[in-house]
Amino acid sequence: MIKKIIELTKIRISFLVLITTFLGFYLGSRGSMNLELLLFTILGTWFSSMGSSVLNNVLEVEFDRLMKRTKNRVLPSNQFSKSLAVFLGFALCFLGLLVLLWKVNFLTFLLSLITILSYLVIYTPLKRVSWTNTMIGAIPGALPPAGGWVAATNSFDWGALALFLILFFWQHPHFYSLAYIYRNDYESGGFKMLPSTDNGIKRTVRHIFIHALLLIPISTLPFFLGFSGRFYLVGAYLLSNIYMLTCLPFIVEQSNENARLIFRTSIYYFPLLLILIFADLRV
């Protein structure tokens, strides 16, 4: 049962959410963290993230049955009760929002609520209507670091916006490469992904290139806004350039192997960015 719940709650995705939330909280704290506030921020965000993932599984269960890579998940394969999953998802979301409202602040609660609703009410159904779902889905996907900043500062300012933009632009090469790799599977499941549309491959290349290129200057915003030092500036600039360079083979030749190179690199981007923040000597 525990293994099935772990799959439903998508622990690995939640872990990435927590990393980016912590990143935002750390930067917003300017080196003087309130550990109790951090604990409740992490707990509330974690519960909300897991609850959203469970409800996403519920909403897409019939479509997941049509795709090879998802048909054996616990809900499509009837290994877990759908009604129990609905209860679990709502309970986790409610608990997460309650923790953020009661123990953190109203703005963080509001951001988390917006994240949940935009993910489940807008992004999830849009996946079966328009390829623009990736751009829309990048919005709730980019809110966790902003939520961490808001939790620490109780304000949504330029720092929160900078963190939002970094994650927003990072997501596009990440998800478009995945959409390319599984383009046939997504099409079988009824999902409208960019690589499967008319002239979609060329447009996928264009979107990957533009977003990876723009991420280079955007990743340096924390330095120019004054809450990171020169060490971060140089490291983030180099890291984003490496990310961009791993996109070039796919831009030249569209293949699953080159798309996987982008996807694998994207996985390491944020943990390395977090290391840069900690290693920043502010010199």
Return the domain boundaries, the chain.
1-156, 165-283
pLDDT, the chain, mean: 90
Give residue 80's pLDDT.
79
HEC letters along 215-254: HHHHCCHHHHCCCCCHHHHHHHHHHHHHHHHHHHHHHHCC
pLDDT at residue 69 greater than cutoff 80: no
Least confident of 114-118, 206-210, 212-216, 224-228: 224-228
User: Average of pLDDT values for 252-272?
Assistant: 93
End-to-end, the C-alpha distance of the chain in Å comes to 51
Q: What is the pLDDT of residue 249?
A: 96
Least confident of 79-83, 87-91, 155-159: 79-83
pLDDT exceeds 50 at position 283: no
Spatial neighbors of 239 by CB under 8 A, at least 6 apart, are 219, 269, 272, 273, 276
Name the helix (H) or strand (E) containing 206.
helix 200-218
**Backbone φ and ψ of 31, nearest 5°:** 85, -5
Least confident of 89-98, 255-264, 265-274: 265-274
d(Cα 99, Cα 55) in Å, to the nearest integer? 19
Across the chain, how many H-helices and E-strands are there? Answer: 14, 0
Homologous superfamily (CATH) of 1-156 is UbiA prenyltransferase (1.10.357.140)
- The CA-atom distances, in angstroms, between 16 and each of 11, 167, 223 are 9, 11, 23
CA–CA gap between residue 184 and residue 245 (Å, rounded):
26
Q: In this predicted structure, what is the pLDDT of residue 82?
A: 86
Mean pLDDT of all residues in 234-262: 95
Q: How far is CA 215 from CA 79, 165, 183, 236, 279, in A?
A: 41, 8, 25, 10, 21
pLDDT for residue 281 is more than 70: no
Instruction: Reply yes or no on whether the pLDDT at 31 is more than 90.
Output: no
**What's the pLDDT at 3?**
76
